[in-house]
Amino acid sequence: MVSVSMTVNGKSVTREVEDRTLLVSFLREDLGLTGTHVGCDTSQCGACVVHLDGQAVKACTMLAAQADGCTVVTIEGLAKGDQLHPVQAAFREHHGLQCGFCTPGMIMTAVDMIRRHDGKLDEATIRHELEGNICRCTGYHNIVKAVQAAADEMSGATQAAAE
């Protein structure tokens, strides 16, 4: 057993876990944050993407102990109360989900993508960046539209704040 302490969605947590506990298992089983999905257990589907110290990571490939001392944001931590994050709102507006299983990972990947590209994204870049996330419902067209809309909105908001 090892003690892990981290900040998850703005709250400090400390737990004793087995050394081999994956971050995705820690989030789901120990903290009850089931929005982070387990899809493939091989890091190929992207359903488990969370942000670790501001960067997207696949939580099924990390041990909880590796996140000790870090800040983790899950899909549950994006919205501010009843106000959806712009990417969540864009997925809803542009029908960027079908069954919803891949949606949390897609959204977390998109938020990181938009941040890294300062909101300046084109369709080819979005499609390339989403290659590590699988949608089995073939909803990519609307997912790409949602990411583009969110990037445009967030880029406009950033630009307006700078002026």
Are the CB atoms for 140 and 127 separated by under 8 Å? Answer: yes
H/E run at residue 158? helix 140-162
| pTM beyond 0.85, yes or no | yes
DSSP state of 4: E
Angle between helices 86-93 and 103-116 (to 10 degrees): 120
- 10 and 68 housed in the same domain: yes
- Residue numbers of the chain with a pLDDT score lower than 50: none
Q: What is the pLDDT of residue 40?
A: 86
Q: How many other CB atoms are found less than 10 A from the CB of residue 40?
A: 14
69 falls within a domain:
yes
- 72 and 8 housed in the same domain: yes
Q: What is the pLDDT of residue 160?
A: 53
Domain that holds residue 56: 2-76
Rounded distance, CA 87 to CA 92, Å?
9
| Domain end marker among 76, 102, 131 | 76
- 72 and 95 housed in the same domain: no
105 falls within a domain:
yes
- 14 and 54 housed in the same domain: yes
- 6 and 67 housed in the same domain: yes
Q: What is the pLDDT of residue 119?
A: 86
| Domain end marker among 42, 76, 110 | 76
